[in-house]
Structure 1
Amino acid sequence: MVTSAAVARAAEQVRSQLARETADLTPEVVAAALRADGRPVGDVTVLAVLDVLRRDVLGAGPLEALLELEGVTDVLVNGPDAVYVDRGRGLELTEVRFADDAAVRRLAQRLAGTAGRRLDDASPYVDLRLADGTRLHAVLTPLARPGTSISLRVPRRRTFTLDELATAGGWGGEPLRLMRRVVAHRLAFLVSGGTGSGKTTLLNALLGEVPGDERLVLVEDTRELQPAHPHVVGLEARQANVEGVGSVDLRTLVRQALRMRPDRLVVGEVRGAEVVDLLAALNTGHEGGCGTIHANSAVDVPARVEGLALAAGLPSSAAHVQMRAGLDLVVHCVRDGGRRRLGEIAVLEHTDGRTHAVPAVRFDGSRPRFLPGADRLAALLEGAR
């Protein structure tokens, strides 16, 4: 029986020899490389080494099988000995292991190379989208501990409808009716929540509720939104190439989107200076605009927007005025264990020169609990702004 350790050692031997030669990866080439030192090698060893080397140069290598798992959203590598997946039930440690950190590094570099990006000691991290839509983030050791880190965000194989999402999250009934009314009344909103709370999934489903005769223009850093809608135009940011040129940032794309006659302008994730242009757009007649933003709670969203706007050069007072005039709601997502669900809806109110998010309704499953902002929410849903 050929042990995995023996196969790993043999694969490294062949890898070193092939690095000095130019040859196709075939069983004959592998067998010749293994027998170069005069030792007999069986067919089982040759085929096992060939399989290891092919995984090195095709797809995501040892991670390929994990990416194909049903329902997987993330594959995370923390060095050679810890590979996790998330299938909607929280992180699960898998049995996948790498021979050493050099193997993890090679995989990260190869994946980055397929997208034309450099990953080495001079440029030790990347954030990009692969050809199949998978989002790759990688950081090389020693910046990352306990070893080279790879994070793969897997695109949804299909888009969930709002009904399906509500059923999966256990928030049908009144919460579902409220969200449909938010879209139908063209209210401007941000979907907030922590990492992995389902912000993009919810926004995707909500955009699928937009009437088919409206034009959606999506602006994203990395393409994740794929709403089931007949009229969608997507703009995706681009990072600089290996020569350091060619970058196109989100702020530029938001400005371009405004010239494309959007019925609804959507910013996939608001996390930088683009917040200034989004706020400006929402104050120039572009109703129904929306996006996602990282925040611990709905109440924290105005402070988060203010901080991003200040960093972009917009005074605090102006940011608060534009928030109040351009945004109507914050829709907050939460994660209970492995389940992602709708947590609460907050309305934006302006007092003493500042905008505050006031909780209007909080959800425990399908049971709504109405809070101080409920009257304002009801007025918005009746058309009073």
Structure 2
Amino acid sequence: MSEWIEPALIAEVRDHLLENPGPVTASAVATAVQRTGRVLGAGALLELVSRISAQLAGAGPIQPILDAPGTTDVFVNGPRDIWADRGAGLEPVPISLGTESDVRALAVRLAGLGGRRLDDSSPLVDVRLPDGVRLNAVIPPLSGDTTVLSFRVPRASGFRLDELLADGFVPAPAHELLLEVLARRANFLISGGTGSGKTVLLGALLSEVAADQRLLVVEDSRELLISHPHVVQLAARQSNVEGVGEVAMTDLVRNALRMRPDRLVVGECRGAEVRDMLTALNTGHEGGCATIHANTAQAVTARLEALGALAGMSPAAVRSQMATAIDLVIHVRREGNTRGIAQIAVPAADRDTRIEMLPVWDAGDGFSEAGVTAVRRLLEQRAAT
């Protein structure tokens, strides 16, 4: 049976060990206890060593949940308000992280493992941990009274297109069309909301690309899993604790173009890098692709216009670039625990450079004859060049 130990003592000992890094041994813990002026028996000392080790190793009590097969996300809304998604939707996890100071100490330590600082002068952080888990942390007062943590757990390996087909994520009628889009080196965007499967689908499609093609992948944080023999992945870097060393997505996209990519891949367009991506796809870089947040395929144009404004582009300039750079938009949607392709569309510009999304395939209506004709014409043009 575990012995009761004052939370205040645990916090003091933990803070001392964080200030004096080294192995969490009985001797080190005993020294820290002695500094507090308290006295513990042998049993209580061993219990304290166990608790401190759990708090200072990995993500502490959360680590077993992150390591469990099937876990995709873990959310900490408070010391006893913890949720996990193990593939069947969010469910509460009956564990305790102690006190708010314990949760904050965990967040600060994990941010440090990723080379970032989390304190009153830098109250939020988004960082990739050494084991690949992506952590977002926000501390009070921005997050109210409690520190809030969000963990995104990457898969050990990516999905293949055949797996997504068997799972129903990729509709059977559209399977051959997607393979032809890849073979003809068409440029495409995958749109959708958070957690809809954009990255999953992009990784699966890129895994089908011919082995003799060089893929240059640019991401804000490495998430794409691609089963391909020639992949170079570049990840943006935020400034360090001194406020220097930032490498932005725009810098990476420009640099990637100098690395002779057969396909330029932007993991997610979310800023001014959209200008460089559209320019590249308009200047001979075929087979390029990216993901973008949008609620529908029709909303992609407005989303690109908003991102283009961050790069100083006018809406008309964005639409003009988009009309000639993007051949296809694949929209994915999540409804409950079901994810999959909801629509495939072709951007078509009129004389006033307004963009209309011409449906090619829709989950409710199936194939559109006009849309299929348009996409076939595009693919034939790709084959001719």
Structure 2 residue 328 is matched with structure 1 residue 357: no
**Mapping for residues 113-262 of structure 1, pairs under 5 Å:** 113-262=112-261
Q: In structure 2, what is the Cα distance between the partners aligned to 1:124 and 1:164?
A: 41
**Mapping for residues 49-68 of structure 1, pairs under 5 Å:** 49-68=48-67
Q: Which deviations, in whole Å up to 9, do the C-alpha atoms of 1:224-277 show, x marking residues without a partner?
A: 113111111111111111221111100111111111111100000000000000
SS in 2 for 1:55: helix
SS in 2 for 1:186: coil
- The structural deviation recorded for 1:135 is 1.3
- Note closer, same or farther for the CA distance 1:269–1:243 as it changes in structure 2 (3 Å cut): same
TM-score by length of 1: 0.91
> Do 1:218 and 1:235's aligned partners in 2 also have CA atoms closer than 8 Å?
yes
- The structural deviation recorded for 1:20 is 8.4
SS in 2 for 1:269: strand
**Mapping for residues 14-25 of structure 1, pairs under 5 Å:** 14-15=13-14, 24-25=23-24
Q: Which deviations, in whole Å up to 9, do the C-alpha atoms of 1:281-311 show, x marking residues without a partner?
A: 0000111100100010111001100111022
Tell me whether 178-187 or 163-172 shows the greater mean CA deviation: 163-172
Note the aligned Cα RMSD (angstroms): 2.4
Q: In structure 2, what is the Cα distance between the partners aligned to 1:48 and 1:143?
A: 35
Consecutive unaligned residues of structure 1, counting only runs of 5 or more, are none
Q: In structure 1, what is the Cα distance between the partners aligned to 2:224 and 2:160?
A: 13
Q: Which deviations, in whole Å up to 9, do the C-alpha atoms of 1:161-183 show, x marking residues without a partner?
A: 11112222354522222221221
Counterpart for residue 41 of structure 2: 41
Q: In structure 2, what is the Cα distance between the partners aligned to 1:81 and 1:329?
A: 46
Q: In structure 2, what is the Cα distance between the partners aligned to 1:257 and 1:225?
A: 16
SS in 2 for 1:105: helix
- Note closer, same or farther for the CA distance 1:28–1:252 as it changes in structure 2 (3 Å cut): closer
The one-letter code sitting in structure 1 at the alignment partner of 2:374 is R
Q: In structure 1, what is the Cα distance between the partners aligned to 2:200 and 2:269?
A: 15
Aligned length in residues: 381
Q: In structure 2, what is the Cα distance between the partners aligned to 1:20 and 1:134?
A: 25
Q: In structure 1, what is the Cα distance between the partners aligned to 2:308 and 2:60?
A: 42
Q: In structure 2, what is the Cα distance between the partners aligned to 1:140 and 1:38?
A: 31
Q: In structure 2, what is the Cα distance between the partners aligned to 1:170 and 1:14?
A: 50
Counterpart for residue 377 of structure 2: 379
Q: In structure 2, what is the Cα distance between the partners aligned to 1:32 and 1:121?
A: 30
> Do 1:79 and 1:145's aligned partners in 2 also have CA atoms closer than 8 Å?
no
Q: In structure 2, what is the Cα distance between the partners aligned to 1:254 and 1:158?
A: 25
TM-score by length of 2: 0.91
- Note closer, same or farther for the CA distance 1:219–1:37 as it changes in structure 2 (3 Å cut): closer
Q: In structure 2, what is the Cα distance between the partners aligned to 1:230 and 1:21?
A: 44
Q: In structure 1, what is the Cα distance between the partners aligned to 2:72 and 2:186?
A: 29
SS in 1 for 2:363: strand
Q: In structure 2, what is the Cα distance between the partners aligned to 1:363 and 1:203?
A: 19
Tell me whether 289-298 or 306-315 shows the greater mean CA deviation: 306-315
The one-letter code sitting in structure 2 at the alignment partner of 1:121 is D
- The structural deviation recorded for 1:317 is 1.1
Q: In structure 2, what is the Cα distance between the partners aligned to 1:20 and 1:127?
A: 23
Q: Which deviations, in whole Å up to 9, do the C-alpha atoms of 1:305-336 show, x marking residues without a partner?
A: 01110221011111111000010111111112
Consecutive unaligned residues of structure 2, counting only runs of 5 or more, are none
- The structural deviation recorded for 1:19 is 7.0
> Do 1:362 and 1:371's aligned partners in 2 also have CA atoms closer than 8 Å?
no
> Do 1:264 and 1:286's aligned partners in 2 also have CA atoms closer than 8 Å?
yes
Structure 2 residue 101 is matched with structure 1 residue 102: yes
- The structural deviation recorded for 1:378 is 3.1
The one-letter code sitting in structure 1 at the alignment partner of 2:345 is A
Q: In structure 2, what is the Cα distance between the partners aligned to 1:240 and 1:304?
A: 27
Counterpart for residue 267 of structure 1: 266
Q: In structure 1, what is the Cα distance between the partners aligned to 2:244 and 2:21?
A: 32
Counterpart for residue 86 of structure 1: 85
